Amino acid sequence: MAEREETETGEGTEEQLMMAEREETETGEGTEEQLMMAEREETETGEGTEEQLMAEREETETGEGTEEQLMMAEREETETGEGTEEQLMMAEREETETGEGTEEQLMMAEREETETGEGTEEQLMMAEREETETKVKGQRNS
């Protein structure tokens, strides 16, 4: 709640918000709804440093947050163009490794990456390989 008020009033330094977010992630305090709202506001206002985005990565690694949350956060990040290529690559790799995220998500992320020209050849090759493997599995199941 404090974070929400702080964000709405614009009070509090970036450093303060970063620390608060880190604590919330580490302690697991705060409802999913709270985290979702805070994330949305942060993205919309464009506030938050790269370090903050890194905190988001921690959330992904710890498995906190619902798939819907991760999907929304990722989509916003891609749309706003925030985050370095390296960050996006790492996030995608983690998602692939953990098996989190729907096929639709991966497909959309890939499409956006292709359109923006972001992502290395290696990434695109890996993504293509996964897509092919998924298609083969899908044909076997039907």
Instruction: Specify the pLDDT at position 54.
Output: 56
Query: pLDDT tens across 80-118, in order?
Result: 655 556 666 666 666 666 655 556 666 666 666 666 655
Instruction: Specify the pLDDT at position 131.
Output: 72
List all residues 6 or more positions away from 43 whose beta carbon is below 8 Å from its beta carbon.
73, 76, 77, 80, 82
Instruction: Specify the pLDDT at position 97.
Output: 63
Q: What is the DSSP letter of 81?
A: T
Mean pLDDT over 73-84 rounds to: 61
User: What is the spatial distance between Cα 30 and Cα 20, in angstroms, rounded to a whole number?
Assistant: 11
Per the structure block, which two tokens stand in for 116?
Answer: 């923006």
User: What is the spatial distance between Cα 71 and Cα 89, in angstroms, rounded to a whole number?
Assistant: 15
Per the structure block, which two tokens stand in for 139?
Answer: 């044909």
Query: pLDDT tens across 32-62, in order?
Result: 666 666 666 665 555 555 555 655 655 555 5
The answer to whether the CB of 25 falls within 8 A of the CB of 55 is: yes
Q: How many other C-beta atoms can be found within 10 angstroms of the C-beta atom of residue 39?
A: 21
